[in-house]
């Protein structure tokens, strides 16, 4: 669903990019994407690659960070001084969400397993919760925003921690309308979509050193099965990147 690389060819109506440009992109797809050495992108799906990132690092950004941005900024309207609870803060979307929320001036509470408590704090979380040892609802109270990347029971237990008028945004499940109404809160399920202007916002944060992608592994395309096995554990730290060609020189 996303990639970083070099423009090999442009269509006749493309004015934003030229051959040789370093770009990263988030593709509009009807399915869950695929793996290839070449991909076709619309101008509205791509943006110049952040200069401070390698191609492998840049490839980790578009889909996950766009999802975090669209959930927190576009949907939840997160503001400075608010408090956000991020479930699954060590994952692909979660670790970007922590950094974006901190850049926005919010207080961040994040959940993860025991092994990732220090990682949450490294990303900027003000409070890290080990969900294996502590019920988040015993710690988080009257938060303005919940970003749910887990769903199921985690979502069900989240309604009670949001202040009246607050919002739960889930990328995993549809919030229950009756539960939202009972607690006087709002809810939304989102699936992010490619927007070049969002990639440009992310580039600004990245080049200002406010957001940094974490790539836990870079694997060759021949080891794609290994990548999927790791993702299936649901304990991947940050992102896994597949390298399908040699790193470009520019």
**Domains assigned to the chain:** 2-62+194-243 (3.90.180.10), 64-189 (3.40.50.720)
Q: What is the pLDDT of residue 123?
A: 98
Other CB atoms closer than 10 Å to residue 238's CB: what's the count?
21
- Per-residue pLDDT of 80-132, as tens digits, reads 999 999 999 999 999 999 999 999 999 999 999 999 999 999 999 999 999 99
> What b/e string do you get for 19-34 counting C-beta neighbours within 10 Å, with b at 16 or more?
eeebbbbbbeeeeeee
Total residue length of the chain:
250
Q: How many Cα neighbours within 13 Å face the side chain of 230?
A: 18
Cβ neighbours for 148, distance < 8 A, ≥ 6 positions apart: 87, 88, 154, 155, 158, 168, 169, 170, 171, 172, 173
The pLDDT score that the predictor gives to residue 28 is: 87
Helix 62-69 to helix 92-104 angle (10° resolution) is 50
DSSP 154-170: HHHTTGGGEEEEEEEEE
| 92-104 vs 196-207: helix crossing angle, rounded to 10 | 70
Residue 62 to residue 198: CA distance in whole angstroms? 9
Q: Please tell me the predicted confidence (pLDDT) of residue 250.
A: 59
- The pLDDT value given to residue 246: 86
Rounded Cα distance, 187 and 92, in Å: 22
Return the pLDDT at 235.
87
- Give me 241's structure tokens: 């990147």
pTM for the whole structure:
0.96
C-alpha dihedral over 218, 222, 223, 229, to 10 degrees?
120
Is the distance from CB of 80 to CB of 98 less than 8 angstroms? no
Residue numbers in the chain where pLDDT is lower than 50: none
DSSP state of 43: G
> Percent of the chain at pLDDT above 90?
93
Q: Which of 53, 42, 92, 29 is nearest to 196 (CA)?
A: 42
d(CA 193, CA 187): 19
């Amino acid at each position: 669903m996303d990639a970083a690389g070099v423009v090999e060819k442009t269509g006749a109506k493309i004015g934003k990019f030229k051959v040789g440009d370093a770009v990263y992109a988030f593709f509009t797809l009807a399915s869950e994407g695929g793996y290839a050495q070449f991909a076709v992108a619309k101008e509205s799906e791509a943006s110049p690659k952040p200069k401070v990132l390698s191609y492998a690092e840049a490839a980790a950004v578009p889909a996950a960070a766009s999802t975090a941005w669209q959930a927190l900024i576009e949907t939840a309207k997160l503001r400075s001084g608010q408090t956000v609870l991020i479930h699954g803060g060590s994952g692909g979307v979660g670790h970007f969400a922590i950094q974006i929320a901190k850049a926005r001036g919010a207080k961040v509470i994040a959940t993860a397993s025991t092994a990732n408590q220090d990682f949450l704090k490294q990303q900027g979380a003000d409070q890290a919760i080990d969900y294996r040892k502590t019920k988040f609802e015993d710690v988080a109270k009257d938060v303005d925003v919940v970003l749910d990347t887990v769903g199921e029971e985690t979502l069900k237990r989240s309604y009670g921690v949001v202040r009246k008028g607050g919002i739960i945004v889930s990328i995993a499940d549809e919030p229950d309308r009756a539960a939202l109404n009972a607690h006087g809160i709002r809810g939304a399920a989102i699936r992010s979509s490619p927007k070049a202007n969002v990639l440009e916002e992310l580039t600004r944060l990245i080049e200002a050193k406010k957001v940094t992608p974490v790539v836990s592994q870079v694997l060759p395309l021949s080891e794609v099965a290994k990548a999927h096995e790791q993702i299936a554990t649901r304990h991947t730290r940050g992102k896994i990147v597949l390298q399908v060609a040699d790193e470009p020189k520019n």
